[in-house]
Chains A and B, each alone.
Chain A
Amino acid sequence: MNRIQQKLKEDKKLLSIYFSAGYPNLNDTVSIIQNLEKSGVDMIEIGLPFSDPLADGPTIQASSTQALKNGMTTEILFNQLKDIRKSVSIPLIIMGYFNPILQYGVEAFCKTCQEIGIDGLIIPDLPVDVYNEQYKATFEKHGLINVFLITPQTSVDRINFIDSISNGFIYMVSSASVTGSNSGFGDEQTAYFKRISDMHLKNPQIVGFGISNNETFTQATQHAKGAIIGSAFIKHLSQFGVSKISDFVNTILR
């Protein structure tokens, strides 16, 4: 069984952390992953930086731009990760925009992910129908779980369709926004989390966008299996560095 599926079976609320690979320094990737695992995080999203990250707010844009300036490429990231399974067992997901993956070659990208021990992919601008028609078989052949996003505007029919072609979890975007905006959730979001939870989908939901501290993590996971933190973690990383990762994780899971 895939590590993500295994993790989702655990009887706890899951904390997933996103970071941009190659930031703050080109070669921080492995130590960030190791530190996150040690600190008790449940899942990690490794951001493959892109020049034009449409769905991201200023914090992730800036870390992505800096990572590219530091020289990060798909090839270098794969090289950094090639022995990662010797030191960590935590589920690893690569999150990136479609163009760099397309240029690498989707089949080659999936194959390398499998060799490294990557468990899943999140590609926000790969449309559901294109995935389903052209790439699903390739992802599955290489044991990769593809994670789709839903938002408060996603229709019930579409949520059901996404659920039917997913085999891990559904990434529930908390509100109509890019990453890193808002602070705190209101009744509207809570009602939306509950509405989705009440659909009893076959895939559990993990909430992302707008989670930054213990309070928002608790709110988000009241009706969901887990939550993802990106921008707030990157801000902490910028300020305090790789050695203080556990401090951040402790404030969330306290």
Chain B
Amino acid sequence: MKKTYNINKKGYYGEFGGAYIPEMLYPNVEELRQNYLKIMAEPSFKEEFDHLLKDYVGRPSPLYFAKRLSEKYNTKIYLKREDLNHTGAHKVNNTIGQILMAQRLGKTRIIAETGAGQHGVATATVCALMGLKCIVYMGEIDIARQAPNVARMKMLGAEVRPALSGSRTLKDATNEAIRDWINNPVDTHYIIGSVVGPHPYPDMVARFQAIVSEEIQWQLKDKEGTTKPDYVIACVGGGSNAAGAFYHYLDDTDVKLIAVEAAGKGIHSGESAATSVLGKEGIIHGSKTLLMQTNDGQITEPYSISAGLDYPGVGPMHAHLYTSGRAEFISITDDEAMTAGLELSQLEGIIPAIETSHSLAIFNQKKFKENDIVVINLSGRGDKDLQNYIDYFKL
């Protein structure tokens, strides 16, 4: 059999993945596992998904040749403009898919977790669109840090519930959402925001995000006469934008994949989110993957200036891409990312999300050849991060 970096029948990427969940969650997750591929293959599902991506989200997102950036680094750089999607990031691709899934499963109540609030906003948006009840769990600390996104969710009709347990950030918001699902097993669908969680979530979310690499293929064909770039680069927290950008290239080793993680204040500073370097194999949120933890198996709190990258684990697909060597993993510090974000703003007139700024910082660490085609997934826009940029650059 041909070697694959995609998921196997049992829900694993290599040795990573699976569904390590309490029995209370089994019926929900099993219902989803048995149905998700069938539902996604239904013509009516595809039609509605494609229609909403086109007319509501605004797809296809452009594949933009970044001329001045390319000149500066003497290579060919294309930006996949997920920042131009409705709600400002790639997150909405997944929430559109999952809300249609939830409807077909007969669910009437939607829950989600959010860190910075991007996934929460994308979920609240599709719930408003479909008229479904929406509850978003958000760490108490994040609620204080991300007031504009909290307001957006409320304006969209969602209820934002503070996660008061543990470290009161993303991982705890995820725990609270899972507990809610345990308490409401029949009417509720849990829209997970990244390629994390128990099988089939990592695979389902990757499939909804796969539209990103599907478009890159034909867009690049138009511009360069080939579907294959030399490199695809994306930042990784949980890993959903990277999963989407890598998806159709996973098994095509002509295309090199680079995942960029947040080093925070430095990998060994004690304030970092570079899971591939600092993590060990373990179980988080129902998935076997690499995660940051103590020797005793307690999950630790990561740090990054970017709220979208400070997850203590990483999706099982990426854990496998890392350990198998299929993807190269690079860590970028807060300072490198912020500088790269400013540079893109001033060279191309695009203010990126700080998450995305991490991928853009790669050009100072890695040299590319003059005729290399390098595609960077510009996963989100920087509006939500303005206050951070203001504070950092004293604007």
Contacts and interface: CB of A to CB of B under 8 A. Distances in A.
Interface in A96-122: 97-104
Contact of A54 (B19, B22, B26, B27): B22
A102 B297 contact: yes
Nearest to A54: B178
Of the candidates A126, A155, A176, the one having the most CB atoms from chain B within 10 angstroms of its own CB is A176
Interface in B321-351: none
Contact of B284 (A52, A154, A176): A52
B24 to A, nearest CB: 5
Interface stretch (A38-46, A55-63, A238-246): A55-63
Contacts of B8: none
Given A55-B24, A149-B22, A178 B282 contact: no
A50 B20 contact: no
Nearest to B288: A102
B162 to A, nearest CB: 13
Interface string B20-58: 111110110000000000000000000000000000000
Interface in B167-207: 171-172, 175, 178-179, 182-186
B283 interface: yes
Nearest to A61: B165
Given A54-B179, A58-B165, A103 B293 contact: yes
Interface string A146-172: 001111011100100000000000000
B296 A125 contact: no
A99 B21 contact: no
Contacts of A52: 166, 171-172, 175, 284-285, 299
A75 B294 CA distance: 13
Interface string B69-86: 000000000000000000
Contact of B182 (A51, A61, A178): A178
A121 to B, nearest CB: 14
B20 A98 contact: yes
A181 interface: yes
Contacts of B172: 52
Contacts of B171: 52
B183 A177 contact: yes
A68 interface: yes
A99 B285 CA distance: 11
B286 interface: yes
Interface in B271-323: 280-286, 293, 295-300
A103 B20 contact: no
A103 B295 contact: yes
Interface residues of A, number: 41
A125 B20 contact: yes
A98 B23 contact: no
B293 A127 contact: no
A65 B166 contact: yes
B113 to A, nearest CB: 12
B297 A124 contact: no
Contacts of B286: 54, 125
Contacts of A50: 297-298
Nearest to A148: B23
Contacts of B299: 51-52, 99
B18 interface: yes
Given A54-B179, A65-B166, A103 B23 contact: no
Given A51-B299, A54-B175, A102-B283, A127 B19 contact: yes
B327 to A, nearest CB: 25
A108 B9 CA distance: 30
Nearest to A100: B297
A176 B100 CA distance: 25
Of the candidates A101, A148, A151, A173, the one having the most CB atoms from chain B within 10 angstroms of its own CB is A151
Given A51-B299, A103-B297, A125-B22, A98 B183 contact: no
A59 to B, nearest CB: 11
A218 interface: no
A73 B22 contact: no
B298 A68 contact: yes
Contacts of A150: 23
Given A52-B166, A74-B296, A103-B296, A154 B283 contact: no
Of the candidates B175, B179, B293, B297, the one having the most CB atoms from chain A within 10 angstroms of its own CB is B297
A99 B23 contact: no
Nearest to B27: A153
B23 A149 contact: yes
6 contacts: A51-B299, A103-B280, A125-B21, A127-B20, A128-B23, A173-B23
Interface of A: 50-55, 57-58, 61, 65, 68, 73-75, 97-104, 124-128, 130, 148-151, 153-155, 158, 173, 176-178, 181
Interface of B: 18-24, 26-27, 165-166, 171-172, 175, 178-179, 182-186, 280-286, 293, 295-300
- The 4 A-B pairs with the shortest beta carbon distances in the complex, nearest first, are A100-B297, A103-B297, A149-B23, A153-B27
Given A153-B26, A177-B183, 11 more contacts: A51-B166, A51-B299, A55-B22, A98-B283, A99-B284, A100-B296, A103-B296, A130-B18, A151-B24, A153-B185, A176-B185
